[in-house]
Amino acid sequence: KQEVTQIPAALSVPEGENLVLNCSFTDSAIYNLQWFRQDPGKGLTSLLLIQSSQREQTSGRLNASLDKSSGRSTLYIAASQPGDSATYLCAVKGGSSNTGKLIFGQGTTLQVKP
Amino acid sequence: DVKVTQSSRYLVKRTGEKVFLECVQDMDHENMFWYRQDPGLGLRLIYFSYDVKMKEKGDIPEGYSVSREKKERFSLILESASTNQTSMYLCASSPPGFTEAFFGQGTRLTVV
């Protein structure tokens, strides 16, 4: 059974710092991995999607990497800002390629202090 | 932009009531999902649907049912609401294949 773990559960950094969030999964047979952002009391916003054949994806100050063989992904945030404060969730897609469900980690809650 | 819209942001219902949570997407996606999110437990899949009138159980279907009569709409039904169904409910949609999932803004349901 696929399990997804995110470490650390919470992280507090000063503004301007570069940081890395970690995501690990137990079964390497995934179709893709998606990083989301969730603000308190809100839904999930998709940040980056990495297909299983890809090594990384970039969007602005965000860079996500994927090492399928070792069951790991990282989300790198450059020059962090207070507006980046949120919970970051990773999810892997397994099962059927058409209907495969997402399995989520518990999330990392990030606080960026001004 | 893809839009997934949940009918209510906040709901308060009484124990034993029948509750309907509605979700509509505007991108003609085949797949739709209902999750619930609880502190310490994360997001757990309740039901999903890969086509009109098709549904499959997720990890925690007990106490819930779903309806998908039209492609754009996926309803979650709590047949007889109980206090342990107090939670944040999140709807998502995606096309088939290796594609992104898009989420609604969530419905915070409180059962009293």
Condensed to tens digits (0 to 9), the pLDDT of residues A3-54 reads 999 999 999 999 999 999 999 999 998 889 999 999 999 999 999 999 989 9
What is residue A99's predicted lDDT score, i.e. its pLDDT?
59
CB A41 within 8 A of CB A55: no
Interface test with A, best of B49, B103, B108, B109 (most A CBs within 10 A): B103
Q: pLDDT tens digits for B26-73?
A: 999 999 999 999 998 999 999 999 889 899 999 999 999 999 999 999
CA A14 to chain centre: 20
What is residue A24's predicted lDDT score, i.e. its pLDDT?
98
Q: Using CA atoms in the order A73, A96, B67, B2, what is the torsion angle rounded to 10 degrees? A: 50
Cβ distance of A101 and B33 shorter than 8 Å: yes
Chain A residues with CB-CB distance to B48 below 8 A: 99, 101
Tell whether A49 is within 8 A of chain B (Cβ).
yes
What is residue A101's predicted lDDT score, i.e. its pLDDT?
80
Confidence check: pLDDT of A96 > 80: no
B21, HSE (Cβ side, Cα atoms, 13 Å): 36
Is the Cα dihedral B43, B45, B49, B50 positive or negative? positive
CA B100 to chain centre: 17
Q: Where are the beta strands (DSSP E) in B14-106?
A: 19-25, 31-38, 42-51, 54-57, 64-70, 73-78, 87-94, 102-103
Sort B72 into a burial class: Cβ within 10 Å, 0-12 / 13-18 / 19+.
middle
Cβ distance of B103 and A93 shorter than 8 Å: no
Confidence check: pLDDT of B100 > 90: no
Cβ distance of B101 and A46 shorter than 8 Å: yes
What is residue A94's predicted lDDT score, i.e. its pLDDT?
77
What lies within 8 Å, CB to CB, of B84 at 6+ separation is: none
Is the Cα dihedral A39, A41, A44, A45 positive or negative? negative
Cβ distance of A102 and B45 shorter than 8 Å: yes
Q: pLDDT tens digits for A68-87?
A: 999 999 999 999 999 999 99
Give the Å distances, CA to CA, from B6 to A53, B25, B79, B104. Answer: 33, 9, 19, 6
Cβ distance of A41 and B108 shorter than 8 Å: yes
